[in-house]
Amino acid sequence: MEEKNFDLKSFIGFALIGGILLYMMSQNKSIPDEIVEKQQQKAQFEDLNIPNNSEEFDNETVFSQQNSKLGMFKYSSEANFETDNITVIENKFLKLKINNKGGMLEEVKLKAFVNHDSLPIFLIKDGNSQFNLNFTTSDNRSLNTKDLYFEPTLKNQGDLQILSMKLKFSDDKFLEYRYSLNSEDYMVGFLIKSNGLNDVFDNSKVPEFEWNLKALRQDQSITFENRYTRLNYEHEVDKTNKLSQSGDDEDEIEDVSWISYRQHFFSSILVSEKPIDIAKVYSYDLVDDETIDTTFTKKYITKFPLVYDSGELLKDMNFYFGPTYAETLKKYNRNLENSIPFGWGIFGWINKAVFSPLYSWLSSFLSYGIAIIVMTIMVKILLSFVQYKQFLSQAKMKILKPELDALRLKYKNNKAKAQRETMALQNKAGASPLSGCLPGILQIPVFYSLFMFFPIAFELRQKPFLWVKDLSSYDTIVDLPFSIPFYGDHISLFPILASIAIFFYMKMTTGQNMSMQPAQEGMPDMAKMMKYMIYFSPLLMLFFFNNYASGLSLYYFVSNLISIGIMLVIKNYIIDEEKVLAKIQVNKAKPKKQNRFQRKMAEIMEQAEKQKALQERRRK
C-alpha cells in the first residue's frame, strides 16, 4: 500500500483559493445604492432604445444618450426622468389614474359597478390600453409620446377638475394633454394642444394619434359577452356602422364623429368635437377557446392623423367611460345610443321606440323579473287578434275539409284541375290558407325585436329573480363536471321550461294544421318538415339558450304559456263553428270575383295543365 505524505504545495493552493472566495463574498454582500440607481437608469433608457457600449453607465452618460435620442425635448426628461408619477382625478362615477410617462390613462375604474365576481369594473387596467402621438421634429427625430415624460398640473375650478400634462421643450414651449372631469359625469374631456412648437415640429410630416384597448372580460360567460362586444362608429354626420362581430376586421372611414369600443354592458367611446377627417379602425377577436381565453374579449385599434394649424396642434376630444345604457348615452346628444345593437331597420325602431321605454317604465315600480312577465302579457294581449285570425282561418279550413277531400278525390288524375277547383272553393267560402299565414308574419318583427332587446337591456344586469342571480346572464341549477358541445358545462332551468312550453304550443297548432290538410297519397315534404319542427324547435331552444340571457328564456316561457291559454280560450269560447259554417254557406252563395293574385295563379295553373297535356300527347 502506498504511504500518504503531507503535500505542502497542495495545501497552499487550497488556502489561496479559499482566501479569494472569502474576499469576493465580502465584496458582494451589498451593492452600493449608486450602482443600483445606475442599473435602473440603464434599464429605463433601454426602453427608449438608447445604445450603451461603455462599461461605466453614469448619470452624465445617461442624460447625454437620452438627449441624443429626444433632441429638443430633453428639457422634459431632465425634469421628470427618475420616476413614473401617477395623478388621480375622480368624481362620483369614475376614478382615473394618469401616468406622467406618456401622459396617458393608466387606469379607469367605474365606481358604481362590479363584475360577475363582485370585483370592481375596470375598463383600463394593467396596461390593457395605450394611446400615443407619433410626430417628427424639425431635427428629423421621430418621437412617440408613450415613451416621453409629461409634467402634471392639477387644478380645481368649482365642480370641474382640470389636469394638464405637458411635454416641455421649455417653460413656454410644450405639447399638452389636458383632461377635464365634472363632478357627476362619465365623459372625460381630452384636449391635445401644442404651444410655441411651430418651429419644433416638422410640418411636412403629419403626426398620427393611436388608441388601442384590449377589452377586459366582465360577464359570467365570456362567449356570450364577446357576442355583444363590438367596435361601432358614427360617420358622415348620422351614419352608424360597425366592424365584424366575430373574427378580425378593419376599415378606413371618413368624417368620423365617434368611435365606440363596446364591451357588451360597458363602453369606452372616443368622441370628437369636430369630425375626424379620416381614420383607420381595427378589431381582433381574442376568444378562440372559452376555457383558455378568459381575460380579454377583443382588441381594438384606432389611428388617425392630426392636422397642423399654423404649425401648431389642436384637437378637442372626449372619452366616455361608462355603461352601455341608452338613457345615459342620450344625455350627451351625440347619438351615442346608436352604438347599442337594438337591431336593424324596423326591429331597431320597435326596440328604441316601444320596448326599451316600456320596460324602463315597468321596471321603475316592479321587480325586474315581474316587469318582464307584465310586458310579455301586454305584448300577447296586443297580438291576440293575430291568433284570433289564425284560428278563424283554421276553423274555416276544418269545416271545408270534407269538400276539399272530395275535390281531390274527384280530380285525382288531374292535379292542376284539382288545385284550380280547390282555390275556387276557398275563394267562394272566404277561407284561404294565406289568411292564416299573413297574421303570423306580423308577429315576426315583435319576435325578433324582443330577441335583440333582452340580451342588451342594461336594466337586467345583475338583477335577480327567483333562483336566477342575474337576468342578463344564464341561470344555473346544476354545474356539470364536464362540458357538452354547443350546450355548456351547466344546466339552466328557464330554457328547459321554455322548451317544454314551445313543444306543447307547436304540438297543438302544427298538429291541428296538419290534421286539416286534405287527404293525399303520401305526406308532402312540407308536412314532414312541420312534423319534425315540433321536436326540433324545442331542442334548438334548449341548446341555444342554455348560455343566453335568462331574461330572454323567461320571456319565451311566459309568452308560450300565454299563447296556449289564448288559443284554448279562442277555440273553446270565442269561435263558434256553426256560425262560421253558416257564414261560409252565405259566402259560397254570393258571386265572388277573383282578385289579381288569384287570377294570376289560375292562369299559371292553366298554362301548366296545357303544357302537361301537350307533353303527354308527344310521348304517345
Single-letter amino acid, residue 566 = I
The contacts of residue 60 (CB under 8 Å, 6+ apart) are: none
pLDDT at position 63, please? 42
Q: By the 8 A CB rule, do 124 and 213 touch? A: yes
Which region holds residue 49: left if phi is over 0, alpha if psi is between -120 and 50, else beta? Answer: left
Average pLDDT, 10 consecutive residues per value, the chain (620 residues): 49 60 52 45 45 44 46 53 76 93 93 90 93 89 89 90 90 91 93 89 89 92 88 90 90 94 94 93 88 84 90 91 93 92 87 90 92 91 75 68 70 67 64 58 80 89 90 86 81 90 80 50 53 77 85 90 83 66 60 58 63 66
CA 204 and chain centroid, separation: 40
H or E segment and range at residue 208: strand 208-216
HEC assignment per residue over 62-102 = HHHHHHHHHHHHHHHHHHHCCCCCEEEEECCCEEEEEECEC
Distance, CA of 563 to CA of 110 (rounded, Å) = 42
Distance, CA of 260 to CA of 319 (rounded, Å) = 10
Distance, CA of 230 to CA of 240 (rounded, Å) = 13
Q: Catalogue the long-range contacts made by 587-596 (C-beta closer than 8 Å, 24 or more residues apart).
A: 587/428, 587/429, 587/430, 588/425, 588/428, 588/429, 590/428, 592/427, 592/428, 594/427
pLDDT at position 220, please? 84
* Residue 58: φ, ψ to 5°: -85, 175
SS3 149: strand
pLDDT at position 316, please? 93
**How is residue 11 written as a grid cell?**
495545501
Burial of 51 (0-12, 13-18, 19+ CB in 10 A): exposed
**How is residue 569 written as a grid cell?**
280560450
pLDDT at position 415, please? 67
